[in-house]
Structure 1
């Protein structure tokens, strides 16, 4: 499995409209996310075999494998079943929303949508997902604890950054909260990963939560 950018949360965007892919990808990247893309479900499954994102944004109506079928397969695979999923669809009636949510999506958004609304939904869904994972870490005694050298020390700013990472904040959110640039946030996260020997933001969050640093 390929290493992903350790400092940014990764999204998988699936849609058969190349123009939408370009526009949404650019907007999400501008907001600090790393974005993988696929034009239909089968291609997305191949990507998942190589790399697991933090969240999936999926169109409903696609050739070969539609969004419903894709999500059904994801929810039945223990490797991916926990992934938060946002559905995008041109169908906006109540019955369509209900079907999308009952089929396994966490959020159902109707096209056309404002890019800012999508970013807000991504931020909110990731934060909720991180809170649930944090709660599970606290409740699960048999989960192996994250091992970090006892000599590791964090600067005051790193401590503030890592606390916000553990709460599910994106780099952009952290930047705005602390009044520093996104590049500085990424630098702090990268430094902390190097200090601790951890591999990604999820492990960093677990370390903070397990050691009650938040």
Structure 2
């Protein structure tokens, strides 16, 4: 099993030892000594999994995890807490915060490798591929569709923002946007418009670019707020 990992820990000795062991086990590991540097590394390249200490100066592990979970790009990213805080209450707090696994120090490095491998296998199993072989996170897509449908049910509660914003959409982009705002997935949109899923993906990507959004949920909210759809 291979994968790109991000390790965040402020203890140099432990950080270097864990990084070396994970790399010897076949993983590619980038390391940071604090959450701020870890976040900067993530902007350069999104890892497949994050391993983070909890007790760190300035921004602790819980705050770092909260920052990750509030970003649409990292909502489904597996996170492992590696920490000296092994009390049951601490573990419960970690799981409630959205961590995927919790390994108290001292730990067996083989156990860490097993946890990482298992989480990566689960992530791989939850992903499908589009026509170009690119990965699609099914769970994340389902979550976005559920959010969109919930948003539409409360459409009257979304206030339109008075704006002179001008977005030039082609007729086909408008058609795709209408169907996205109805909560349809790409395959369903392709069927309705009698086109390929790949073409729909291209139109959705253009809509993201033109509206400055990064997810279907953001796109639908933007469209509703700015009157881009009925």
TM-score bracket relative to the smaller structure: 0.5 to 0.7
- Tell me how far apart the structure 2 counterparts of residues 128 and 145 of structure 1 sit (CA, whole Å): 26
The residue that corresponds to 2:94 in the other structure is 100
Q: Which one of 122, 125, 130 corresponds to residue 128 of structure 1?
A: 122
- Tell me how far apart the structure 2 counterparts of residues 124 and 108 of structure 1 sit (CA, whole Å): 13
The residue that corresponds to 2:110 in the other structure is 116
Q: Which one of 27, 32, 38 corresponds to residue 32 of structure 2?
A: 38
Task: Provide, for residues 176-195 of structure 1, a one-character-per-residue CA deviation record: whole Å limited to 9, x for no partner.
Answer: xxxxxxxxxxxxxxxxxxxx
The residue that corresponds to 1:157 in the other structure is none
Q: Which one of 41, 59, 64 corresponds to residue 70 of structure 1?
A: 64
- Tell me how far apart the structure 2 counterparts of residues 50 and 136 of structure 1 sit (CA, whole Å): 24
Choose 7-16 or 37-46, whichever is displaced more: 7-16
Equivalences for residues 1-214 of structure 1 within 5 A:
8-134=2-128, 136=138, 141-142=185-186, 144-145=197-198
Task: Provide, for residues 25-78 of structure 1, a one-character-per-residue CA deviation record: whole Å limited to 9, x for no partner.
Answer: 111001100000001111111111111000000000001100000000000001
Instruction: Please report the TM-score for the alignment, with normalisation by the length of structure 1.
Output: 0.61
Structure 1 residue ranges without an equivalent (≥5): 1-6, 147-214
Q: Which has the higher contact order (CA 8 A, sep 6+)?
A: 1
Larger Rg: 2
- Tell me how far apart the structure 1 counterparts of residues 70 and 108 of structure 2 sit (CA, whole Å): 31
